[in-house]
Amino acid sequence: MTVRAIIVGASHAGAQLCASLRQEGWEGEILLIGDEPALPYHRPPLSKTYLANKTTLDDLLIRPSAFYAKNDITIRHATVTSIDREAHVLTLSGGEELSYDKLALCLGARPRRLPLAGSDLVGVHYLRDAADIEAIRNGITGSGRVVIIGAGYIGLETAASLRKLGVDVTVLESAERVLQRVTAPEVSAFYARVHREEGVEIRTGVAISAIEGDDRVRGVRLADGELVEADLVIIGIGVVPNTELAEAAGLRVNNGITIDDHALTSDPDIVAAGDCANHFMPRYDRCLRLESVPSAGEQAKIAAATMCGKSKDITALPWFWSDQYELKLQIAGLNEGYDSVVLRGDPEAGRSFACFYFKQDELIAADCVNRPQEFMFSRRGIGERVPVDRSQLADPDSSLNDMLKAALASKAAAG
């Protein structure tokens, strides 16, 4: 008797889950359902090389079509509208029903909408998929002026790519500094400086009252009455997890589809992974929904093992990255709740430094800009919770390898 696994969502998590199912020994049918007319592709480059027209969608494919054929994985371009958990049946938008034995939800997230007058004008864009990027590229003219609303990573990455294309860019942010939600003031100041040096106008602490235009957008009206002129507006104010399908099916949902350490939902035959999933992390003593490609990949691997009847746990330290201009930012851990920082290098000069976050004398996270050695040190040190000497960490001439070896030895000796 043939069994069928269905993965809903052709995302990073969905693509990894397909591969991991075969690696874990799943011998039955695998069906991947995605609502875009393309094979699963890497999304981080969308706001970078793809926007800059340096890569094609084929260049961004996570795996070529031959991989899916070789591993007997069927791909359907369709939208799932409902899940009947009792009958183990999915319904597609056209009315077709598909039965499953095991189901994986890799539904991702969608851009948070800005509830303002004029946000639906022609020339106003959000950025999440390849179609969004193509619309933005088609809307850019040689003398175009672009306003980006939101100075998070997606907004700043987009600003960097547009500046490389020679586009005039203004970034509007309601917070008092860029990246305020996710970085220390020193890191925010560094990125604001770099973007201004590259020709981006950064305006923080501003309130927006409306987006204005007639047949298409012509500017963003601020609360103080000023009109910031724009030929194109890009909104990047965060994302919302796609949980409606799971919620309608009666699965437990709380800022994402709730999963346990094995990526299992509240239904024993349904797993979830990626930006749509929320799970309790003992290291941080709370439930977290991580918007991270590495986390999506790890959760997908664990989910595949669970679908195959194996028991593996989600344990990896969260990490992230961001590319802007020639800057490679690598982030290890989560800095939430930090009470102090240590800098290695000078963020006020040059374009390379590391910011280490501490909470009650424990290293909990690090932002490393063009500092791969510091990033690797941080992943290991934070992951193993080793004691760290702050003065050595701040000294750019000290050896990180020696420091890590000594810390690991000290930890081992202490039992």
Of residues 351 and 403, which shows the higher confidence score?
351
pLDDT value at residue 247: 98
Q: Where are the domains of the chain?
A: 4-110+239-307, 124-235, 326-413
Residue 16 structure tokens: 């990894």
In this prediction, residues 386-391 reach a mean pLDDT of 90
Is 90:258 a contact under the CB 8 Å cutoff?
no
Q: How much is the pLDDT for 284?
A: 87
Span 6-26, pLDDT tens digits: 999 999 999 999 999 999 999
pLDDT band at 142 (very low <50, low <70, confident <90, very high): low
At 35-79, the pLDDT tens digits run 999 999 999 999 888 988 889 999 999 999 999 999 999 999 999
- CATH architecture of structural domain 326-413: 2-Layer Sandwich (3.30)
Query: To the nearest whole number, what is the mean pLDDT of the chain?
Result: 95
Answer yes or no: is pLDDT of 413 > 90: no
Strands 145-149 and 168-173: what pairing? parallel
CATH number corresponding to 4-110+239-307 = 3.50.50.60
SS3 (DSSP) at 199: coil
CA distances from 305 to 14, 301, 308, 313, 415 (A): 14, 6, 5, 9, 33
Residue type, 69: A
Residue predicted with more confidence, 48 or 255 = 255
CA dihedral 285, 288, 290, 296 (to 10 degrees): 90
Residue 111, helix vs strand vs coil: strand
237 band by pLDDT with thresholds 50, 70 and 90: very high
Confidence of residue 152 (pLDDT cuts 50, 70, 90): very high
Please, which contacts does 257-266 make with residues 24 or more away whose CB atoms are closer than 8 Å? 257/105, 257/107, 258/287, 259/299, 261/302, 261/313, 261/314, 262/302, 262/303, 262/305, 262/306, 262/311, 262/312, 262/313, 262/314, 263/299, 263/300, 263/302, 263/303, 263/306, 263/314, 264/303, 264/306, 265/105
Fold match between 4-110+239-307 and 124-235? yes
- pLDDT score for 143: 60
Give the fold, CATH level 3, of 124-235.
FAD/NAD(P)-binding domain (3.50.50)
